[in-house]
Amino acid sequence: MTAPSTPEPDHQQQPTPPAASTRMARKIWPWVVGSMLLGILIGVAATVLVINWPHKNRSYDSVAELAAEIGCTPTAVPNPDLAIERGYCETPRGQVVIGIHRNHSQAMISARGIVTGHGGRRLVGPNWTIGCVHEPDCDAYQDKLGGEFVEGQ
């Protein structure tokens, strides 16, 4: 019995010239690099979003906690209507009124009632409302905290 023989390589067969694969690579590489850069950009954007996410549209347990987020020291309002707790802060540009509510529905009811009776604008979050006089401050609070505006006529 003889050992199986391995076939001799055919030295006559030439490999495909590299020119064809090089041309294909030159056509594809901008797409590959572009896709990689897009992936990196999306990853960075998602990371920034995740890092900033916990501060936006969250609930607060007290007026003091929400006031600390916007950088003011509140004075409590006794017997708050339509709120669990209400307080106000004096800022250089006017008074800011903060309310903590049981849920978003009650915060919206409170904000709509206030703007209907007094006019103005209220920023409403998951369980809170902020009423401010100076519009750029209101916009800055929304940028920082999230929420939506309810405006009076």
Q: CA-CA distance, 67 to 37, in Å (whole number)?
A: 41
pTM of the entire structure? 0.62
Question: What are the tens digits of pLDDT across the range 5-41?
Answer: 666 655 566 655 556 667 666 778 777 777 888 878 7
Q: CA-CA distance, 142 to 110, in Å (whole number)?
A: 18
Is the pLDDT reported for residue 50 higher than 60?
no
Sheet with strand 85-91: strands edge to edge: 75-76, 85-91, 94-100, 128-132, 121-124, 148-151
Tell me the DSSP string of 96-145.
EEEEE-SSHHHHHHHHHHHHHHH-SEEEE-SSEEEEESSHHHHHHHHHHH
What integer is the mean pLDDT of 94-116? 89
Residues 150 and 115 sit within 8 Å (Cβ to Cβ): yes
Q: CA-CA distance, 68 to 64, in Å (whole number)?
A: 6
Domain-wise residue ranges, the chain: 18-54, 63-151
pLDDT number for residue 19? 63
Q: CA-CA distance, 79 to 82, in Å (whole number)?
A: 9
Residue with tokens 């020119």: 19
Tokens of 43: 């990853």
